Amino acid sequence: MDVQSILEGPWALVAIAVVVFIESGVLFPFLPGDSLLITAGLAHQQLGLSVPVIAGVAFVAAAAGDQVGYLLGDTFGARLFTDDARVLKTSRLRATEAFFEEYGGRALVLGRFVPVIRTYVPLAAGSARYPYRRFLPWNLLGGFLWAVGVTVMGSLLGGVPFITDNIEILLAVIVLVSVLPIVIEQVRKRRKGRRDRALTTEPQA
């Protein structure tokens, strides 16, 4: 999708809000949210908009989109899972519930910065019945850091061609570095679990 064409005309702010809202949780992940915010931040003067206004609208749209995604997951998500399904297995839903119980907040924040993933994280949270009282503050924090952060990044660094051309990759690298401690902890737990099972199955002398 051509980002420049989205921002042309007097409805640029509305277009930003619509794209960010849909990409944030309405099950249509293939939209250029990162590039759109970077470009809007870079071209805010040409658009006749201030950076705070763009960032504020994007934040509200991002938070609202996640609310819809959570509601969809909470209302319909569990019905999509069955014990004998190839992909949407009930066991995977239970694993998702456990994941959000332990890493819910971090998953909601970090998922914001990964295209496609940001669309499905609130759906998974709702499907896993992640408590809404926990979902809401993390949703707002993630929406703020992403919408405001990427817009401001565009206004400050968008003039650098390398940043503009590789924003999705750069954001993904940041997220991968951020989740590395979680991955290491999970590997450590699995190894410990295997050792514990091995000790319990050893024959007694």
> How does the average pLDDT of the chain come out, rounded?
79
**Could you read off the pLDDT of 142-160 as tens digits, one per residue?**
999 999 998 988 888 766 7
Q: Is 62 helix (H, G, I), strand (E, B) or coil?
A: helix
Per the listing, tokens 């509601």 go with 71
Say how many C-beta atoms besides its own lie within 10 A of residue 98's C-beta.
11
CA 155 to chain CA centroid, nearest Å: 22
The whole model's pTM is what? Answer: 0.74
pLDDT number for residue 55: 94
Half-sphere exposure of 108 (CA within 13 A, CB side): 32
Q: How many domains does the chain have?
A: 1
CA 5 – CA 8 distance, rounded (Å): 5
Q: For residue 118, count CB atoms less than 10 angstroms from its CB and return exposed for 0-12, middle for 13-18, buried for 19 or more.
A: buried
User: Pick from 125, 91, 93: which is nearest to 106 by CA?
Assistant: 125
Q: Is the pLDDT of residue 131 over 60?
A: yes
How deeply is 15 buried, as exposed, middle or buried, from its count of CB atoms within 10 A (0-12, 13-18, 19+)? middle
- 149, two tokens: 């952060």
Domain of residue 80 covers 3-201
Residue 152 CA to residue 187 CA, distance in Å, equals 36
